Amino acid sequence: MKVTVKHWHAVAQWRWDTGAAEPESSDAENEDVCGICRVPYEGCCPSCKMPGDDCPLIWGECTHVFHMHCLLKWIGTPASKQQCPMDRRTWVTAERKIGNS
């Protein structure tokens, strides 16, 4: 028996896993991670060799917070276009908002 496919219509679907179905995932603790490396602010960023290394946080005027090392690495890439990685606004560091958590 021989089968010949005359037409094929592929269908794909995707969705975001927002965690809305799980009430525990809406805790502020789960959201306190760097938007670039996804490591908690209390931990060190991937650029730091050991926990306890100086790994300050940096705030933008857009109110997004990142590990300073992660943001500097991001801003240094041509793809960043000097924009916040979360909302794509021009990155402007908020005054007096650089420091440890």
pLDDT tens digits, residue range 67-82?
989 999 999 999 889 9
Give the closest residue to 68 by CA, choosing from 78, 83, 58: 58
pLDDT at 86 exceeding the cut of 80: yes
Q: Encoding tokens for residue 57?
A: 């946080």
pLDDT value of position 48: 83
Among 43-47, 69-73, 78-82, 86-90, whose mean pLDDT is lowest?
Answer: 43-47
Q: What's the CA gap between 19 and 26, in Å, rounded?
A: 7
Q: Where are the domains of the chain?
A: 43-99
Number of H helices, E strands in the chain: 2, 3
Arch. (CATH architecture) of 43-99 = 2-Layer Sandwich (3.30)
Place 59 in a pLDDT band, splitting at 50, 70 and 90: very high
